[in-house]
Structure 1
């Protein structure tokens, strides 16, 4: 009877094994220049928790191939807060938000320079200058054009500007003043976009990225998961970013802020976040992948596993929410045996 039971267990084990995805073979395919299909990307998001470590290890091979053991740090400066006429449902600064966030126009030179000093002291490679707006007005454009050369000369930082929708002329002006990269997130898949914003379209965001690309700057664009989108919407976003040729992809996990239309929404597990990071790495293997807002809330103690797949994090606070203490990030990077990439052009 014992022999029969052992045979049954063995057969069941083989059956389960046959259903397991060979993520290492997928990684081999990508490393040889191949690409995943949308169906395979969806399978990653549907992976059982039992296969999660196998998935992370395979995605980690791609990270190691293109980024080694390096980690890039980004520092975020909320240069203009609140006062936004758009209705992005996730955002505490939008016109449909009742969240008690600070409201101020673009900061003066001294405050922007002081924030750049902090970015440098924290080992950041990139200083992200962000304003809340549909797009920059002339006063805001002039302020950015004035401060960016000073930041770069004094602190030798890359500068990423996030100013809302941009036309080609504005993009050309940002390039001329020394902006290295512009952030403008797609936020979600095209089919779901109308559920989270109605005051501008997905096509508007794509056009801004094209204007940035055509002006000769790098594109930084990612999104937010956990807003009620389908797994297919997440896959669509990953492939759209690939097709656009985006160089840097920040992946956020919804921090459902009280007072916003998405308050109280907490659908993500740490495993969901790790699967999403792995899928983005497989679809965009050579691109910088950043673990962004909400990592402390949703990845929690599994944050280090995320850096086996991603190669970048924000150090410090986000726009209107607090981040993990910088010393904890430094320790996490050190414990992983990774090193912070600090010099521009490294």
Structure 2
């Protein structure tokens, strides 16, 4: 065994990998020893990735409508979570969405679609999207995440210019039947192997906090190492109402940081990404986590809002890191992005400081309604002057209740419907119903926008935008 994490890190750098027993011991580090663990994991991170952070950006090509029953997922079969549902975006619409993330510094765009797996026609549609994106942005990496692949589909995607394929193992094989019954753990392994055989870079990670034991978490990490995943997204369960895991809270910020550190020890030279749920679970420890991980998603996730893009970029810079491959015009938040288009801009945030396109890796991320009528206004110099803007556009003085909230917010016990902003592309799709052709036996579903602003944390015990 090892004396301390620093000694173990030096051993790993010398080519001697950690064992499952050592990984479990690291995971059980007490809170006073957490900073020593982070420092040792940071030594491994800097050796392989320096002080750079890779920025990824998700485009949700198809939302909801999934026949699988994954227990963590807001898009699951017969799920009761109120999410946006729509069929396939056209290549032009998808490229428009992707460009908001690219302008924010993203060097990889992840194209995601819900469902068990794509038909050959749908793979063709995605291939045309990739070709259109690569024509305008040849240096941007493209990762596809379309579900279980059939023979030949990975080769088609590779031929179109896809660089990587994401399909998460999600949890340990010994725990898998507890979270899904409509496909098997081996189905997921087989899809990652198909992607590898086609020359695609394998991207596979997990969702933590799904009632797994520490031993099962370590089991999953070593399975990912053995699978040869080049990038490992780590999602933190957001237990939204309407899913079997609603009300499951077994993560603390310290626990999340220890998990990320152990992932770094097990996969020292791999891209490790803090993904969906980081805002909810890591909270104020996110900047510290950057000393362990070397990748994140910018802005929003598949069905929930993430941290404001400007806050992400500021966090990276303030912690002393630089965005990998940043262009001269990057490093600023994207212009008012569309997809408020997909979920609506969060109340109380400058729309110009948000990416609101579909963005993220955890299907379990979901948002429901929860907007309040009033938002705290800001003066011209950016300071909070306490003014409250109400739903009808009027303002009042900066009075607040004893809890520090404006009276309108303190009195609001339910959300007030607010029309979400949409991009020109999605607005056109809403009005026309046009889009990629669907197989004849599939039901065509029109885009349906909720009448309320969708906010991170809605549907859980966590306050919206907490």
Contact map agreement 1:31 1:62 (CA 8 A) in 2: yes
Residue 268 of structure 1 aligns with which residue?
251
- Residue 134 (structure 2) pairs with residue 152 (structure 1): yes
C-alpha displacement of 1:126: 0.6
Question: Following the alignment from structure 2 to structure 1, what is the Cα–Cα distance between the partners of residues 276 and 254?
Answer: 16
| Counterpart among 122, 128, 131 of residue 110 in structure 2 | 128
- Residue 171 (structure 2) pairs with residue 192 (structure 1): no
Structure-2 change in CA distance of 1:138 and 1:268 (3 Å): same
Structure-2 change in CA distance of 1:124 and 1:326 (3 Å): same
Residue 9 of structure 1 aligns with which residue?
none
Contact map agreement 2:106 2:298 (CA 8 A) in 1: yes
- Residue 257 (structure 2) pairs with residue 279 (structure 1): no
C-alpha displacement of 1:20: 9.3
Question: Following the alignment from structure 1 to structure 2, what is the Cα–Cα distance between the partners of residues 228 and 58?
Answer: 28
Partner of 2:37: helix, strand, or coil? helix
Question: Following the alignment from structure 1 to structure 2, what is the Cα–Cα distance between the partners of residues 295 and 55?
Answer: 19
What is the root-mean-square deviation of aligned Cα atoms in Å?
1.3
- Structure with greater helix share of residues: 1
Residue 67 of structure 1 aligns with which residue?
49
Question: Following the alignment from structure 1 to structure 2, what is the Cα–Cα distance between the partners of residues 257 and 140?
Answer: 29
Residue 342 of structure 1 aligns with which residue?
325
Contact map agreement 1:45 1:276 (CA 8 A) in 2: yes
| Counterpart among 105, 108, 118 of residue 87 in structure 2 | 105
Residue 99 of structure 2 aligns with which residue?
117
1:169-184 matches, cutoff 5 A: 169-184=152-167
C-alpha displacement of 1:181: 0.2
Residue 90 of structure 1 aligns with which residue?
72
Contact map agreement 1:116 1:155 (CA 8 A) in 2: no
| Counterpart among 327, 330, 341 of residue 313 in structure 2 | 330
Contact map agreement 2:92 2:129 (CA 8 A) in 1: no
Residue 290 of structure 1 aligns with which residue?
273
Contact map agreement 1:20 1:51 (CA 8 A) in 2: no
Partner of 1:166: helix, strand, or coil? coil
Residue 168 of structure 1 aligns with which residue?
151
1:194-343 matches, cutoff 5 A: 194-342=177-325
Alignment deviations for residues 270-302 of structure 1 (CA, whole Å, 9 cap, x no partner): 011001000000000000000000000000001
Question: Following the alignment from structure 1 to structure 2, what is the Cα–Cα distance between the partners of residues 160 and 106?
Answer: 17
Structure 1 segments (4+ residues) deviating >6 Å: none
Structure with the greater relative contact order (CA < 8 A, sep ≥ 6): 1 or 2?
Answer: 1
Partner of 1:251: helix, strand, or coil? strand
Partner of 2:35: helix, strand, or coil? helix
Question: Following the alignment from structure 2 to structure 1, what is the Cα–Cα distance between the partners of residues 133 and 247?
Answer: 39
Partner of 2:106: helix, strand, or coil? coil
Question: Following the alignment from structure 1 to structure 2, what is the Cα–Cα distance between the partners of residues 234 and 224?
Answer: 10
- Residue 59 (structure 2) pairs with residue 77 (structure 1): yes
C-alpha displacement of 1:111: 1.3
Contact map agreement 1:168 1:215 (CA 8 A) in 2: no
Question: Following the alignment from structure 1 to structure 2, what is the Cα–Cα distance between the partners of residues 260 and 278?
Answer: 29
Residue 10 of structure 1 aligns with which residue?
none
Q: TM-score, normalised by structure 2?
A: 0.69
C-alpha displacement of 1:127: 0.5
Partner of 1:285: helix, strand, or coil? coil
Contact map agreement 2:235 2:278 (CA 8 A) in 1: yes
C-alpha displacement of 1:167: 2.4
Residue 41 of structure 1 aligns with which residue?
23
Contact map agreement 1:96 1:261 (CA 8 A) in 2: no
Q: TM-score, normalised by structure 1?
A: 0.92
Question: Following the alignment from structure 1 to structure 2, what is the Cα–Cα distance between the partners of residues 304 and 153?
Answer: 35
Question: Following the alignment from structure 1 to structure 2, what is the Cα–Cα distance between the partners of residues 252 and 199?
Answer: 21
Q: Which moved further from structure 2: 177-186 or 257-266?
A: 257-266
Alignment deviations for residues 175-225 of structure 1 (CA, whole Å, 9 cap, x no partner): 111100000000000000000001000000000000001110100100100
Contact map agreement 2:91 2:126 (CA 8 A) in 1: no
Contact map agreement 2:168 2:203 (CA 8 A) in 1: yes
Contact map agreement 2:66 2:76 (CA 8 A) in 1: yes
Alignment deviations for residues 8-29 of structure 1 (CA, whole Å, 9 cap, x no partner): xxxxxxxxxxx99411110010
C-alpha displacement of 1:44: 1.2
Q: Give the unaligned 5+ runs of structure 2.
A: 328-466
Q: Which moved further from structure 2: 189-198 or 260-269?
A: 260-269
Q: Give the unaligned 5+ runs of structure 1.
A: 1-18
